[in-house]
Amino acid sequence: MRRKMAAGNWKMNGSAAALDMIDALSSAHSDNACDIVICPPAHLLTAACDRAGNGPVAIGAQNCHAAEKGAHTGDIAAAMIAETGARYVITGHSERRETYGETDASVCDRSAAAQASGLVPVVCIGESLAQREAGEALPVIRAQLAASVPDGSTGDTLVVAYEPIWAIGTGKIPTLEQIGEVHAALRADLVARFGAEGEKIRLLYGGSVKPGNAAEIFGTADVDGALVGGASLSADDFSPIIAALAAS
């Protein structure tokens, strides 16, 4: 049985005041029914970890460098993130792949560095609209999975997020059949590669998850939770998504 996870990606949003949301989520979801992760911008990581304490909300970063240290101005190493008390890091988000030219290979290196530092990478993969319309979604996503995920990954050391690029921040989502088809294919590939551990690796869906569509998405086979952008910026939106996940 895989433990469900609702992860919020704040992207380049949030301030010290926004961390009040962690208190709101901690008291609303003290039943610990599923894993809750907030990924704020890097400058808030330490304060967010302090605020979360030992409560139900864990903290994650939005990216890490593959190297341990060195001349990488503006970057942050996985061990540095771990030092803040954070437990997760998003790797390979499509915004980083598109804007900074991150490749499957570099995502794999970042994810391996995260695992080596005791962080759990949330590895993002997903097709563009042109790839979806050309009927290439499945081969594209499966190739990304194969090349972005480090060898030796287990259910405890890896989370995968399927995020169709065209669904991120657009209000559009794939049909439930399309989500189910992708998650089934990813599950099969994870099991083929990692054996029994492949059954334990959580598969999140991401892309315009909102309170109004969360329950139907979470009712889809092999969807173990969500990576949420816009709707993770307020407890009013994120809390009902967490509740829908806990009830699924």
Q: Which of 209, 241, 242, 243 binds ligand PEP (CB under 6 A)?
A: 209
**Phi/psi of residue 139, each to 5°?**
-60, -35
- Measured from the CB atom, is 165 or 194 closer to ligand PEP? 165
Active site residues per annotation: 93, 163
CB of 59 to ligand PEP, least distance (A): 16
Q: Give the position of tokens 């049909």.
A: 175
Contact 238, 6 (CB under 8 A): yes
- Measured from the CB atom, is 208 or 220 closer to ligand PEP? 208
CB of 94 to ligand PEP, least distance (A): 8
Q: Which residue is nearest to ligand PEP (CB)?
A: 229
Torsion, Cα 62 66 72 76, to 10 degrees, reads 30
- Measured from the CB atom, is 61 or 209 closer to ligand PEP? 209
- Measured from the CB atom, is 160 or 194 closer to ligand PEP? 160
* Pairwise CA distance, residues 228 & 238, whole Å: 8
Strands (E) across 62-109 are located at 88-91
**Helices first, then strands: H and E counts in the chain:** 11, 8
* Pairwise CA distance, residues 45 & 83, whole Å: 10
Does residue number 163 form part of the binding site for ligand PEP (CB under 6 A)?
yes
Does residue number 107 form part of the binding site for ligand PEP (CB under 6 A)?
no
CB under 6 A: which stretch of 33-41, 52-60, 142-150, 221-229 binds ligand PEP? Answer: 221-229
CA-closest candidate to residue 179, choices 222, 125, 143, 148: 222
CA-closest candidate to residue 88, choices 51, 62, 126, 54: 62
CB under 6 A: which stretch of 30-38, 65-73, 79-87, 223-231 binds ligand PEP? Answer: 223-231
CB under 6 A: which stretch of 35-43, 148-156, 189-197, 222-230 binds ligand PEP? Answer: 222-230
Which tokens hold the place of 39? 């990924």
Return residues touching ligand PEP (CB under 6 A).
9, 163, 168-169, 206-209, 227-231
